[in-house]
Amino acid sequence: MGAEIPGIVKLKCSVKNYDWGKLGKESAVARLYAKNSGEEVDGGEPYAEFWMGTHESGPSYVVAAAEATIGLTVSDVEGKDGGDRKQGDAVSLKDWIERNPSVLGDKVLQKWGPSLPFLFKVLSVEKALSIQAHPDKDLAAILHKEQPGMYKDGNHKPEMALALTEFEALCGFVDLEELKTVVHYVPEITEVVGGSCADQVLNTSEEDGAKKLKEVLQSLFTGLMSASKAVISEKISKLISRLSLKCKVRKLTEKEELVLRLEKQYPGDIGLLAAFMFNYVKLSPGEALYLGANEPHAYIHGECVECMATSDNVVRAGLTPKNRDVQTLCSMLTYKQDFPEILLGVPTNSYTTKYIPPFDEFEVDCYTIPEEASTVVPAVPGPSVFVVVAGEGTMHAAVIAEGDVLFAPANTEISLETISGCVVYRAGVNSRFLEESDTTNQN
């Protein structure tokens, strides 16, 4: 690169107050943001997402060199600068990287240019997010060009959610046998789509092949999601009445109980019927779920660390007051019928667990370091973003604590030591990509 690589820097990050977030201090996002920014938490305000990265919808800002500022609030740093250091005057992480592209490392810079390829988040989910999917690169470019107000960028958005607490989600379509059970035992769906469409599902077998299975599932789902509001309202009213009676004579299934919960959040919403068609996933802390392009999902409840390609593209069709794009969603989905893979992470030493999804842009490490212990994060040929979610310790002898977010350039070895015990998450470029790039360059 030629130029000297700048050192580790501390970041001030953005918060999103979407209405599905946990309120006030009940929210891990609120606690992290307050520590990170020095701002007070509003007890009546939902705090949904804490963003760490370069996306324009929620940029991070370089506060100062980490050695001078780790463990300090933004107001502390402002005081040292004579009180006139405002966020409006600070350099965004995006601009800082563009001025210092060597921090990304050669491999990342060649692949993605002078931009961080991943976006790191913490989510605090009190009520369900929308039924949604994220477009692949080709579709994202088209949607961004045609509707830039709704689709904020032209990038795809594969993502991974790593549970901090018990975490619930709907993800992907149920398999054929379960789908037949849904059609049989949820008559309201048949009443919406019609008997002929329902019979197609019941008369289909695995031997009919993947193409036929996709056509049948797509027809069923599209018919359901495209129904009029009047029809949906009537059938959901019938569904809720039926389940309210059923619970007096038998124990409801987990999916039925979930639908009753969702009805309190989004009464009359088509998502209540659609939920029966999706896998209901429950993650324990430390388990992770990853989602590729064009796969339907909805986060239901809990808190997680999330990492994704740098994008904010979401195509929504249910469980939301926001704009919906039913036609695009129904046409873009893969219609795979598989239970999603759950990543347990791979221990790389006594204190470190690594989560590697099948996407080039990112991976996540979790460092759980007990009191007065230490570990070394090896240098990697790509950038890293660290967030401290609990405890306090030191990074290269500078104090770090809950809410601190730090950017480390490529090829930087990191030493972490704890004072009272510490939990730190790191997002970085997928190590498989970096290793494959090494192999390609050697050949």
SS3 284: coil
Q: In terms of Cα–Cα distance, which of 5, 42, 39, 37 is closest to 26?
A: 42
Residues paired with 376 in a beta bridge: 415
- Known binder of ligand: residue 26? no
User: Treating both helix axes as pointing N-terminal to C-terminal, what angle do 210-225 and 195-202 enclose, rounded to 10 degrees?
Assistant: 150
- Known binder of ligand: residue 132? yes
- Measured between alpha carbons, how far is 176 from 421 in angstroms, rounded to an integer? 47
Q: In terms of Cα–Cα distance, which of 143, 18, 167, 12 is closest to 90?
A: 12
- Known binder of ligand: residue 184? no
How far is the CA of 280 from the CAs of 92, 129, 218, 256, 376, in angstroms? 39, 14, 19, 11, 38
- Measured between alpha carbons, how far is 4 from 384 in angstroms, rounded to an integer? 18
- Measured between alpha carbons, how far is 415 from 425 in angstroms, rounded to an integer? 14
* b (16+ CB within 10 A) / e for 332-344: bbbbbbeebeebe
SS (H, E, C) 341-367: CEECCEEEECCEEEECCCCCCCEEEEE
The answer to whether the beta carbons of residues 418 and 370 sit under 8 Å apart is: yes
- For the question of residue 316 being annotated catalytic, the response is yes
- Known binder of ligand: residue 87? no
Catalytic residue (choose from 31, 242, 316, 426): 316
The answer to whether the beta carbons of residues 40 and 92 sit under 8 Å apart is: no
Residues paired with 118 in a beta bridge: 309
Report the half-sphere exposure of 90 (CA within 13 A, side-chain side): 23
How far is the CA of 68 from the CAs of 33, 362, 385, in angstroms? 20, 28, 18
The answer to whether the beta carbons of residues 438 and 108 sit under 8 Å apart is: no
Binding site listing for Zn(2+): 132, 134, 159, 297
Which residues have a catalytic role annotated?
Answer: 316
